[in-house]
């Protein structure tokens, strides 16, 4: 039974994590939020209190922390008696926070792969460049580390696992489809940090085709999908974190990630990219100032957090899985639909933050209850997906399945409520 959560980061996802931890603090215990900017932690705490999100009276505290500083992070974990760390800071701090967890025994979670700010990691699988090098250290220390437990990566990994286990004898392909059919009403904005956002699209697009890595360019491959709620949605083949673990763990020959883009987004992106304004390499102005163009683009774009109040519409993210069952071709789409306005009303963040922030708290509850406290480093597809899906269904992030028989809520065979007394850990695929 682990208790007390330390949230690292104070952006839009951290806001959701804090609210959801607060809504479950009877199980999770004390909640601490740490960021370089203390004021952002306090703003989140104010929001939690304003919306009355605390399930029961308890500790909710802000801390200033440079999460690149391993010793400072260890000190804070110990001082707050935190046994669960949810890292939703920038992808640059993953390795230092993970090390602090290994050294203190706290369970670790994050929602994206570690990145070095100075390079765009080019060699797949990306997890092998950083996180997986600490796998043995986690095992030796008995430290639970669940990598990439946001929505994508995270929930989509669990969906893939669930489809493989319950709907197929053999799986040929998994297409992860991420549609944001919402509207923020601004000329142009990114839904999270523009720097992180654009980095995702300026490097090589890796996909997993016929059991091998294939390199493509961004916006090279377009595909329209008929999606629930959002309708026919245009997507482009995009590189994404989850491919780098699912390709290694699932034995499926084709795994691709498709992100929805409107023509307007692509046009603005292409103009900026072709002009060199997305470059991380400094240029010199006529007045002799050294400037990184991407930092200037970030400075003129709206702060993603500022979009939430006016955001309308829905997201639809899911896995379209194809293969065979009982000798017949089979296909299922396991997905979630999330509403921007409803998310903002509940926790003060839009749906993109909501879908990324609920899963690590669901996972924290599973760790707290011992269901997912596996004592080693795993990616999400290595864990039993049923308790996660059941837990999220109860937390406002409902999973649906569309298959030959129709389209209905996915109610996993082993809901957490029933499993909490079991020793379900013994059934996990991890090991």
Applying CB under 8 A, the residues found at the interface with its own copies are: 187-188, 267-268, 271-272, 274-277, 279, 283-287, 289, 291-293, 295-301
CB of 299 to its own copies, least distance (A): 4
CB of 71 to its own copies, least distance (A): 25
- The smaller minimum CB distance to its own copies, of residues 118 and 299, is found at 299
Residue identified by tokens 């500022």 is 306
Burial class (CB in 10 A: 0-12, 13-18, 19+), 188: middle
CB of 422 to its own copies, least distance (A): 48
- The smaller minimum CB distance to its own copies, of residues 147 and 305, is found at 305
- The smaller minimum CB distance to its own copies, of residues 50 and 299, is found at 299
- Measured CA to CA, the distance from residue 159 to residue 18 in angstroms comes to 25
- The smaller minimum CB distance to its own copies, of residues 116 and 407, is found at 116
CB of 293 to its own copies, least distance (A): 6
Q: In what order do the strands lie in the sheet with 84-87?
A: 60-64, 31-35, 5-8, 84-87, 107-110, 145-147, 377-379
CB of 224 to its own copies, least distance (A): 24
Of 198, 162, 409, nearest to 298 (Cα)?
Answer: 198
- The smaller minimum CB distance to its own copies, of residues 232 and 286, is found at 286
3-state secondary structure 8-71: ECCCHHHHHHHHHHHHCHHHHCCEEEEECCHHHHHHHHHHHHHCCCCCCCCCEEEEECCCCCHH
Contact (CB, 8 A) for 181 and 350: no
Please name the residues in contact with 37: beta carbons below 8 A apart, sequence gap of 6 or more: 10, 64
CB of 201 to its own copies, least distance (A): 16
Contact (CB, 8 A) for 247 and 125: yes
- The smaller minimum CB distance to its own copies, of residues 278 and 368, is found at 278
């Amino acid at each position: 039974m682990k208790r007390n959560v330390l949230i690292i980061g104070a952006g839009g996802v951290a806001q959701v994590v804090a609210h959801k931890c607060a809504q479950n603090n009877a199980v999770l215990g004390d909640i601490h939020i740490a960021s370089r900017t203390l004021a952002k932690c306090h703003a989140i705490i104010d929001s939690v209190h304003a919306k009355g999100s605390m399930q029961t009276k308890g500790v909710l505290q802000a801390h200033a922390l440079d999460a690149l500083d391993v010793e400072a992070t260890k000190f804070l974990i110990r001082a707050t008696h935190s046994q669960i760390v949810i890292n939703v800071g920038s992808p640059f701090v993953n390795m230092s926070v993970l090390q602090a967890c290994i050294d203190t025994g706290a369970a670790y979670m994050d929602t994206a792969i570690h990145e070095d700010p100075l390079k765009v990691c080019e060699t797949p699988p990306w997890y092998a460049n950083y996180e997986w090098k600490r796998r043995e250290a986690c095992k030796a220390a008995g430290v639970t580390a669940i990598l990439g437990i946001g929505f994508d990566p995270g929930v989509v990994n669990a969906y893939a696992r669930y489809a493989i286990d319950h709907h197929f004898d053999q799986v040929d392909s998994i297409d992860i489809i991420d549609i944001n059919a919402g509207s923020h009403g601004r000329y142009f904005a990114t839904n999270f940090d523009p720097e992180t956002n654009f980095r995702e699209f300026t490097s090589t697009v890796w996909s997993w085709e016929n059991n091998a890595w294939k390199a493509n360019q961004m916006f090279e491959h377009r595909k329209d999908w008929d999606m629930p709620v959002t309708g026919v949605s245009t997507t482009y083949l995009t590189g994404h974190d989850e491919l780098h673990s699912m390709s290694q763990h699932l034995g499926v020959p084709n795994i691709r990630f498709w992100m929805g883009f409107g023509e307007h987004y692509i046009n603005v992106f292409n103009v900026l990219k072709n002009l060199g304004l997305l470059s991380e390499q400094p240029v010199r102005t006529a007045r002799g100032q050294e400037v990184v163009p991407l930092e200037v683009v970030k400075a003129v774009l709206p702060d993603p957090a500022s979009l939430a109040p006016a955001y309308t519409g829905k997201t639809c993210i899911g896995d379209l899985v194809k293969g065979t069952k009982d000798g017949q071709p089979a296909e299922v789409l396991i997905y979630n639909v999330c509403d921007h306005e409803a998310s903002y009303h509940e926790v003060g963040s839009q749906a993109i933050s909501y879908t990324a922030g609920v899963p690590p708290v669901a996972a924290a509850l599973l760790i707290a209850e011992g269901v997912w406290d596996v004592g080693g480093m795993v990616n999400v597809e290595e864990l039993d997906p049923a308790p996660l899906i059941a837990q999220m269904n109860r937390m406002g992030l409902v999973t649906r399945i569309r298959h030959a028989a129709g389209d209905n809520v996915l109610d996993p065979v082993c809901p957490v409520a029933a499993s909490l007394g079991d020793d379900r850990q013994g059934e996990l695929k991890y090991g």
